[in-house]
């Protein structure tokens, strides 16, 4: 009992006798670091699984701090290489934490381009349509100030549908001569979908049969029109005279 008390006191235990020193000192000294190291590595491994998955899957903290000679006997690089193959196949083992994270990441990244592609395609179509109709818009804008003439088709005297017909011919679009027929030749759209180059119409009954006026939409609730006798080709707004039918010209 006296020897055990002296051994626990540290360096003073070396004097009483040889047997207690080699038994008690090595047994007590490694026991404390092993217990401390074991709990530390267990905590680290748990933190790695929650945090960085690569350390938990391959050469973990337990193997590195547990025994240094074990590392050359069980090389980490082949184990990491083997672990990479199941991860690529999506069938990782128990230590395949990185495989479990890699598999969901790839499908999550794939739908993003798929969902963006249609939007980009729609924008490209709209941009191409606007560019194709810009020739018609530019032609009509160049004739602002020309006088209105019933039945006029240019070059400097116009009625509403005559200006529209000639202007869109510049964009390669063949439209009928009368405003009601021009409405029938376009695709029906709501007012919220209007974009530059669309046509706006005025109808007495809200149908094609009642259409009596047409103008070219410029954007921002503005349109270009040859309005009526005594006026000139001009830009007007919805605040002045609001259309009630809307059509999109079909490009060739």
Upper half-sphere CA count for residue 237 (Cβ side, 13 Å): 4
Per-chain mean pLDDT for the chain:
70
Structure tokens at 164: 């529209």
* pTM confidence score: 0.53
Find out whether 162 and 154 touch, Cβ atoms under 8 Å.
Answer: yes
Find out whether 210 and 131 touch, Cβ atoms under 8 Å.
Answer: no
Sequence length of the chain is 252
Q: Is the pLDDT of residue 142 over 90?
A: yes
Per-residue pLDDT band for 127 (boundaries 50, 70, 90) equals: confident
Q: Please state the φ and ψ torsions of residue 205, each to the nearest 5 degrees.
A: -120, 10
Q: Is the pLDDT of residue 152 over 70?
A: yes
């Amino acid at each position: 009992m006296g020897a055990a008390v002296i051994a626990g006191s540290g360096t003073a235990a070396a004097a009483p006798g040889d047997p207690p020193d080699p038994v008690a000192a090595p047994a007590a000294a490694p026991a404390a670091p092993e217990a401390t190291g074991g709990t530390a590595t267990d905590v680290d491994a748990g933190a790695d699984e929650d945090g960085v998955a690569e350390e938990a899957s391959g050469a973990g903290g337990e193997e590195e701090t547990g025994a240094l000679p074990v590392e050359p006997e069980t090389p980490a690089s082949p184990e990491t290489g083997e672990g990479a193959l199941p991860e690529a196949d999506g069938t990782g083992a128990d230590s395949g934490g990185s495989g479990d994270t890699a598999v969901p990441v790839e499908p999550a990244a794939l739908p993003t381009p798929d969902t963006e592609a249609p939007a980009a395609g729609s924008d490209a179509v709209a941009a191409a349509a606007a560019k194709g109709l810009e020739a018609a818009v530019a032609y009509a804008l160049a004739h602002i100030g020309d006088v209105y003439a019933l039945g006029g088709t240019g070059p400097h005297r116009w009625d509403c549908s005559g200006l529209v017909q000639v202007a869109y011919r510049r964009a390669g679009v063949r439209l009928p001569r009368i405003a009601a027929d021009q409405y029938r030749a376009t695709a029906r759209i709501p007012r919220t979908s209007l974009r530059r180059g669309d046509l706006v119409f005025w109808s007495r009954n809200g149908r094609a049969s009642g259409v009596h006026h047409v103008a070219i939409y410029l954007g921002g609730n503005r349109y270009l029109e040859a309005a009526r006798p005594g006026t000139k080709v001009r830009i007007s707004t919805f605040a002045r005279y609001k259309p009630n039918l809307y059509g999109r010209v079909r490009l060739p």
